[in-house]
Structure 1
């Protein structure tokens, strides 16, 4: 929690700019197009942003980027207006004339409605007069004036765009509304609704959610799955495009609402928004990046942000390290486990990339990296980086590993290596041709107790029968690991660990895989997390893995039992080991759990120094292929035979 609080957070959710790069699956957008962008974590206040396809809209000719930067903000009141079901000639009261309220008045005017604006600030009221039929400063008795102005019966709709600590704006809305009118809350007001007023007039009340259908839906926003127009006419993207088209037609204008501020004065701009003594803007403060290059596609990979020199203690410990490491993905696991192990081994933390700019910079300062690379590509292209550690979400592993290997970097990739057979094949081809080594984060094979178990049961060498039970616990159904595109499911994302452990214990490659299981009916079959996997090995060994999400949290997570040549061994959660042989029983224990992470990092760095991977590439290939085979077996219900070729023959 403390680490989260210490992190800087990217701000902003509404921007506009020129496209410099387009994803392979994105249609109808080209480099050089001008687009408006939406979404927190995407359309941030930054010179360069990465935005999903459904959160952009093309800016038509004649609309400035400064005005287009308000598109997402304008889509908020537009969605509220659509929920109100306003038709031509309807009377609408807008309570709250801040930026959203000002835009609401203009949208309603463009729609042919009669608009009445109210606010407690006389300056805002005066500004609203340019688009409203009439405007008033809120005061006692103002509801009667609005009813009179609207024809006596009251307004057809009320749009609440105010931000208030009390429900007074809501009370005012019920007073000025006609019988069976609608009230839509777009702003932030306590929802304490007076029943008598609502009942007597049979009023309808609704809360508007952001800027339209699709908001907060990962399938729509992150994965680009659009809603059919015949079922959802106005999605958030279509609302954004509507705002831009209205501007292009001349029926809507924001130029007088925009005050452009150079990014160098951003701190001053933010201060104006929160300091009551400062002159408040008439509308929006739009940050501009005037010095941004017209074409950044050619040199993007060469640019980076240089940080201040770390403190002497950290710098002194890093200077002696021979391996300069770049980290892609400074998330919790990397910060908590991998980076301390790298530092303890003497690696130099050269560069970090991934996540949002502020989070990467905060990670660099907290963890002791020399600098923040502007992008993953920039870090991979950096000549001052010897080895790249990939610790991002699963979906990006294969592409990043392949790029780093092709750049001649040594690569450590957190598991899994790939989510598909095609990804795995491309990575292995790159690894076979690269001058860098490839290591995958199968840390358990480096755990001292597992190594002792292996040495005991296979001495002398003979086939091993083993069973590995994992009580993993449940993840929420919408957790990203369950998503087949982002996480691949828990079988790929975590069970690969245990497949590798049994390959290590048996000392043999896997020839056959069969998996069966059950799981949450909301999840695809391949994402089931109550699974039994049976493995057949080339040397005659057999192994079974029982991966369970439905177990009790009181049970130790992992238990491995192995049997061979009148010898048995039981490893309990990497805390204790029992060895049973002809001479009796021996027990081993540790003060704490040791799953091998620091030994794994040491082996990788030693491998970089010596030019030899800690685990042969063919073994990495076999484990990864067996993991994918388990998923296919789970899907089809059939046993899968593995066929692999040596890496140099791929």
Structure 2
């Protein structure tokens, strides 16, 4: 049974801890966070024996096999390098960093230490999106021609979060950039972005957008369209469609029930699940279990360091395109051997 250390006990760190404690493959041995208020009580409720405000304690613990990095993005790359040098396998929330160059340095450390790194793009493990990917890869719809991804949050984040998030492309749409590569299995060679501030003026004051559309051109000739909004009043809107030479596959939103009520007043159904914690519960569990299975050698990491790097490159290109008003061409370069990341 793997022993795990979790760095960062915010919302996502606590979520991962709760899921790990329910698996048969691992247990959380230690958790660290700079904010210790209430941490002992929470950790005790999950039978986590070690709580500390110094994450180095986790890296120096010889009994810990893997580190989950759930701290702020600005700390990810440094901790990845330190964890790699300590010989720990690493699960890191997205993005690895806000800088492609910084991410490359972190991946180099992973490569040199010969440890495994999985990046937390949980949507790869969602039952709907995985079905789309498997169908496309199985050739059922033929050669992919068009990919459309819709991703809309139920409400915008607070300005304090936006200021530290890296912006819509790096914080929100980065999931969709990863999904586009995952489904089409071809690198993106051109990015063209349009964005606007239509929802919260505070987001605009931070030089960010809350509404955006990005067009992707893939090396295999396929075209992708991603559209994001920070506010969908009816709930968490997460849909995808892949169209190809032999057909099409699309998914709808998950809802509390599939019941449809039809009366003289109209036809009604449940709104989509409210946000990502409800929508992607199964995906969060699956990504953790697959991480441990990869460490055991059952199959390669599903979402490795190179996947994290390429999604960041697309987010960076989208921001550049938005600022310049022009498409941005990308020369795909794999800095390190993909199998090693």
- TM-score with structure 2 length normalisation? 0.82
- CA positional deviation for 1:575: 5.5
- CA positional deviation for 1:556: 4.5
* d(CA) in 2 for partners of 1:632, 1:406: 34
Q: Which position in structure 2 is the counterpart of 1:175? A: none
Q: How does 1:51-450 map to 2 (within 5 A)?
A: 321=1, 323-335=2-14, 337-346=15-24, 347-450=26-129
Question: What secondary structure, in the 3-state scheme, does the structure 1 residue paired with 2:159 have?
Answer: coil
The answer as to whether partners of 1:526 and 1:634 remain within 8 angstroms in 2 is no
Q: Which position in structure 2 is the counterpart of 1:600? A: 287
Q: Which position in structure 2 is the counterpart of 1:619? A: 307
Q: Aligned pair count?
A: 310
- Among 226, 234, 240, the residue aligned to 1:545: 226
Q: Which position in structure 1 is the counterpart of 2:266? A: none
- 1:638/1:367 Cα in 2 relative to 1: closer, same or farther (>3 Å)? farther
Question: What secondary structure, in the 3-state scheme, does the structure 1 residue paired with 2:336 have?
Answer: helix
* RMSD (Å), alpha carbons: 2.6
- CA positional deviation for 1:525: 7.0
Question: What secondary structure, in the 3-state scheme, does the structure 1 residue paired with 2:165 have?
Answer: coil
Q: Which position in structure 2 is the counterpart of 1:451? A: 130
Question: What secondary structure, in the 3-state scheme, does the structure 2 residue paired with 1:479 have?
Answer: helix
Q: Which position in structure 2 is the counterpart of 1:304? A: none
Question: What secondary structure, in the 3-state scheme, does the structure 2 residue paired with 1:357 have?
Answer: coil
Q: Which position in structure 2 is the counterpart of 1:295? A: none
The answer as to whether partners of 2:7 and 2:13 remain within 8 angstroms in 1 is no
Greater relative contact order structure (CA < 8 Å, 6+ sep): 2
- CA positional deviation for 1:547: 0.3
The answer as to whether partners of 2:118 and 2:291 remain within 8 angstroms in 1 is yes
- CA positional deviation for 1:421: 2.3
* d(CA) in 1 for partners of 2:210, 2:337: 35
Q: Deviations over 1:304-361 (max 9, x none)?
A: xxxxxxxxxxxxxxxxx2x1100011112332x3123212323121110013234432
* d(CA) in 2 for partners of 1:527, 1:425: 25
Q: Which position in structure 2 is the counterpart of 1:16? A: none
- 1:607/1:354 Cα in 2 relative to 1: closer, same or farther (>3 Å)? same
* d(CA) in 1 for partners of 2:133, 2:240: 11
Q: Which position in structure 1 is the counterpart of 2:329? A: 641
- 1:550/1:358 Cα in 2 relative to 1: closer, same or farther (>3 Å)? closer
The answer as to whether partners of 1:395 and 1:488 remain within 8 angstroms in 2 is no
Q: Which position in structure 1 is the counterpart of 2:184? A: 506
Q: Deviations over 1:475-521 (max 9, x none)?
A: 355232x11xx221232112111111111111122222221101155
* d(CA) in 1 for partners of 2:35, 2:304: 35
Question: What secondary structure, in the 3-state scheme, does the structure 1 residue paired with 2:48 have?
Answer: coil
* d(CA) in 1 for partners of 2:34, 2:96: 20
The answer as to whether partners of 2:119 and 2:305 remain within 8 angstroms in 1 is no
* d(CA) in 2 for partners of 1:365, 1:557: 36
User: Which runs of 5 or more residues in structure 2 are unaligned?
Assistant: 257-272
User: Which runs of 5 or more residues in structure 1 are unaligned?
Assistant: 1-320, 577-590
- CA positional deviation for 1:408: 1.9
- Among 148, 152, 158, the residue aligned to 1:471: 152
Q: Deviations over 1:447-501 (max 9, x none)?
A: 1222222222343252241111122144355232x11xx2212321121111111
* d(CA) in 2 for partners of 1:498, 1:556: 14
